Amino acid sequence: MRDTIKPALVIFAFFTLLTGLVYPFFITGVAQLAFPYQANGSLLYRADGQIAGSTLIGQAFDAPQYFWGRLSATPGSAYNAAASGASNYSVLNNHLTQQAQQRVQTLRAADPENQLPVPMGLVTASASGLDPHISPAAAYFQAARVARYRGISTTQVHNLINKYTEEPLFGLIGEPRVNVLLLNMALDSLQ
């Protein structure tokens, strides 16, 4: 029995060190050297050096002079990265319908002159509940409100939307999208 236990413990200790320490430190070192921006959370900084957020995680913007992102389905607080996940409501669920209707009313109240149809991405949450992007249609829907509250022209806002619209990967994978945090930071830099 002793002949079996000793090699098993040695192998256990070896693989614990290899997979628990050596490999994670090696991969962390490679990531820090090759991709430091991504390895450190894809963080964006304000002009004063404070962290504004990450390009990978949405943020709750609700002031009328900012673009608003998709709804967050994370429990506790909006865009809670520790609790990523969808609401799992079916399309027939009354709570989902009420939530969407409430969001439409909020969007209409913030910009009563806007008669455009409300894009679906502004009234539903993403699968992760953390999506930092909106569709270009969702951005254009909000452009007049943002321009009015900031005292700038709608053309300026449209130009920023065009500038910050990301195309599908390799022109094939995904949909065109606009990162809300980048767009809002660009708006702040105009002032």
pLDDT in tens, 63-104: 889 999 888 777 777 777 777 766 677 778 888 888 888 888
Give percent above pLDDT 90 in the chain: 42
Taking only the tens place, the pLDDT of each residue in 153-165 is 999 999 999 999 9
Tell me the residue length of the chain: 191
| Confidence label for 191 from pLDDT (cuts 50, 70 and 90) | low
Asked whether the CA dihedral 79, 27, 21, 16 is positive or negative, the reply is positive
Distance from C-alpha of 138 to C-alpha of 134, rounded to nearest angstrom: 6
Q: Collect all residues with Cβ–Cβ distance below 8 Å to 138 and sequence separation of at least 6.
A: 70, 119, 121, 122, 178
pLDDT digits (tens, 9 = 90+) for 116-139: 999 988 888 777 778 899 999 999
Entry pTM: 0.80
DSSP per-residue codes, 97-143: HHHHHHHHHHHHHH-TT--SPPPGGGTSB-SSS---EE-HHHHHHHH
